[in-house]
Amino acid sequence: MNNFSPTPAQKIAVLKEIRYEIESLLGTPNYDSADEVILETVYFRKMAHGRALHTFFTTPTPNRWKNDVLSEDYAFTALAIFQPLKAEELLERFNQALFHISYSRVRRTPGDKAWPIEEFLPPIIDRSKAFVSHVLSLRWPNIPKEEQLLWDRMLTPAYVRIPLAQSTSNIAVSQVASVERFIRGT
């Protein structure tokens, strides 16, 4: 059992770190669309931040690992993001395909090598947007004005930048277009 309990000052101080994770998931940086290495990197980054946010949104405080920041620290209930039967499969895939060199990689065919981003990212994007609205509704007096403005900005339609067009070995064009439409809410 973990007895770590963050102070109000710690919760406010770490908001910029949570914002960074959410911004990195929601925002798409400008990039050279002809450079497949950069394209791969942009989506790898989105998925890595999405994976970190999954833990943030789904872990209840009694299951906290060391001093992890959790959504429940902000009175935002930890909930499952994926259907139970799909959650294990998706998380295993992302843990193995993104963060481990595994023998299961060689068993993948060209048809199933693409990262399942259409299933993985949209539910985390939804939860992230709900969390941003929740944080803004708290109206904590000690949040610096600059930080408050940066949180407000994440809910503006202009926040999401140029959509990606991707043709790398792990991400299909249809997946990218689908996720980018979802992020923009179109």
Over residues 24-57, the pLDDT tens digits come to 998 877 888 788 888 888 888 988 999 999 999 9
Q: Which residue has the higher pLDDT, 132 or 119?
A: 132
Assess if residue 3 is contained within a domain: no
Please check the confidence at residue 183 and state whether its pLDDT lies above 70.
no
Assess if residue 1 is contained within a domain: no
Query: Residue 64 is encoded by which pair of tokens?
Result: 């906290």
Domain count, the chain: 1
Assess if residue 2 is contained within a domain: no
Locus of tokens 């999405």: 50
pTM over 0.85: no
Structural domain span for residue 96: 8-184
DSSP, collapsed to helix, strand or coil, labels residue 50 as helix
What is the reported pLDDT for 176? 53
- Per-residue DSSP letter, 142: T
Q: Which residue has the higher pLDDT, 131 or 95?
A: 131
Assess if residue 21 is contained within a domain: yes
Assess if residue 101 is contained within a domain: yes
Query: Residue 4 is encoded by which pair of tokens?
Result: 């770590």
pLDDT tens per residue, range 65-74:
999 999 999 9
Assess if residue 115 is contained within a domain: yes
Assess if residue 26 is contained within a domain: yes
Please check the confidence at residue 170 and state whether its pLDDT lies above 80.
no
CB atoms within 10 A of CB 131: 20
Residue 9 CA, distance from chain mean position = 24
